[in-house]
Amino acid sequence: MTVLNQAEMLQTHSAVLVFFGDRAYKLKKPVDLGFVDYRRRADRFRACHREVRLNRRLAPDVYLGVADVLGPDGLPCDHMVLMRRMPAGRRLSTLVRQGAPVDGELRRLARVLAAFHGAARRGPAIDEEGDRAGLRGRWDTAFGQLRRFHGGVLDEDAAAEVQWRVHEFLDGRDRLFTDRIGRGRIVDGHGDLVADDIFVLDDGPRILDCLEFDDRLRYLDGLDDAASLAIDLEHLGARVPARRFLDWYAQFSGDPAPEPLRRHYLAYRAFDRARLACLRHEQGDPDAAADVASYIGLTLRHLRAGTARMILLGGPAGAGRTDLAGRLADRLGATVLSSDRIRRELAGLDPATSAAAGFGQGVYTREWTDRTYAELCWRARHLLQYGQSVILEASWARDRHRRGVRALASCTHSALTELRCAAPAPAVRRGAPAGGFPDADALIAGLLASEADDWPEAREIVSGPGTDDVADALSAVDGDRPAVAAGR
């Protein structure tokens, strides 16, 4: 049973909170913090009323109103937010730290948040904060604020990697963010969901303390809002519940957001928490340095996992190309685009039907091959613009085709990895490896190999007994930066 009659006081950078009985009283400090200025009583009065109005959207029975503080003359000398006191033992962060099962609460919370976003305000001014430029502006503001911490509490190399990964993702994904706006995903949300401010009661969750001092920080993608809580759960050690929460949010909101966008918003929220931890460290908080390192680690983990990648997977027929492409796609969450399949589609053939022909004949003339590779690149471009990683599986025998892919990687700001499957001559045979439909028999494959252009940029991957081709391929992928960043 939770006891509410114990008096308590808590201070934040901008307020004093007093807990007494079943009530909580929040008095704003007369301070200028740069992003808020509460030195004038009139401004504190307006801020109190604004806080109550905005937070009643999610917790109408918690935010009771604004009370006056009376001076010795009986006249108002200040103002405070009057709230219903929440039971500390039902705080979400407390439950997570205790290892209590919270899946049911998170599922209900995801439903409440999805419904809140569904009914939230939308409009051109709100959309503007959720587009690519708006998001980049918030990232860049944080980069500028943290520059003075480089080489101190904030590792300089890690900060540099965060910055180039962020810019490469945003610079190549304008269509993704335009699509989010077109789908009505930018809302007037909460802006700062954290487990400390959420209480799970028997009759449903209470979500407190939205961002009220700057509307623009509440104008955001609903997925970004949900990611704020998810990254907080990850930091508390609840990685699996965090992912489940985002999955439930996607289900209840009907939001088929691509995984890279989810990763990007998780990274943004982690970096923002790292920013706050740097400021706490500057103010003498002894625990802040560990939080900075933890949040930067989360930032990089999600940015790396969400990198838009283009993997060129080539080599002769029969060298295990198709099989490796499928297994690599499973590990990376990538889409496989196969030249054999696309060639058949362009020719109006069933994907399972052989298109075998003599060397350089049928659908294997130079014109047909150029058309196939152009279509391959066009489809890859579409996916990369939405942040999706792709594996382009083909022979890639001609350097002119590979140059086109390198140009595509550059203009879409995607990480390019070039892999060439190699196999001993006996492995090149008529017939398909598991899951593939190659049309080249041993003779044609030999002719293709003999005429192939040199490919010094590719890392050779060998499949067969005693090899771990997926591990070798992943090692190459992990070492590649986005094409533009790598050239700087």
Q: pLDDT at residue 149 above 70? A: yes
- Which residues belong to CATH 3.30.200 in the chain? 8-84
In eight-state DSSP terms, residue 73 is T
- H/E run at residue 280: helix 259-282
CATH architecture of 8-84: 2-Layer Sandwich (3.30)
From the list 300, 246, 244, 241, the residue with the least C-alpha distance to 270 is 300
In eight-state DSSP terms, residue 373 is H
Region 309-486: CATH code: 3.40.50.300
- Beta-strand runs (E) in 253-334: 309-314
Name the pLDDT band for 347 (thresholds 50, 70, 90): confident
In eight-state DSSP terms, residue 35 is S
pLDDT of residue 40: 95
Q: pLDDT at residue 296 above 90? A: yes
Name the pLDDT band for 464 (thresholds 50, 70, 90): confident
- Kindly state the average pLDDT of the residues 234-242: 97
Q: pLDDT at residue 439 above 60? A: no
Report whether CATH 3.90.1200.10 matches the domain 88-305.
yes
Can you read off the two tokens belonging to residue 481?
Answer: 């930066």
pLDDT of residue 20: 92
- Which residues belong to CATH 3.90.1200.10 in the chain? 88-305
Please write the tens of the pLDDT for every residue from 64-113: 999 999 999 999 999 999 999 999 999 999 999 999 999 999 999 999 99
What percentage of the chain exceeds 70 in pLDDT?
88
- Which residues belong to CATH 3.40.50.300 in the chain? 309-486
**294-325 per-residue burial string, b: 16 or more CB within 10 A, e: under 16:** bbbebbbebbebbbbbbbbbbbbbbbbbbbbb
User: Does the CA dihedral 195-197-199-205 come out positive or negative?
Assistant: negative
Average pLDDT over the chain reads 89
- H/E run at residue 82: strand 76-84
Query: Parallel, antiparallel, or unpaired for β 23-28 and 15-20?
Result: antiparallel
Q: From residue 291, how far is each of 154, 200, 226, 273 by CA, in Å?
A: 11, 25, 21, 8
Please write the tens of the pLDDT for every residue from 82-95: 999 999 999 999 99
pLDDT of residue 365: 82
Give strand pairing partners of 338: 393
Give strand pairing partners of 200: 205
Name the pLDDT band for 424 (thresholds 50, 70, 90): low
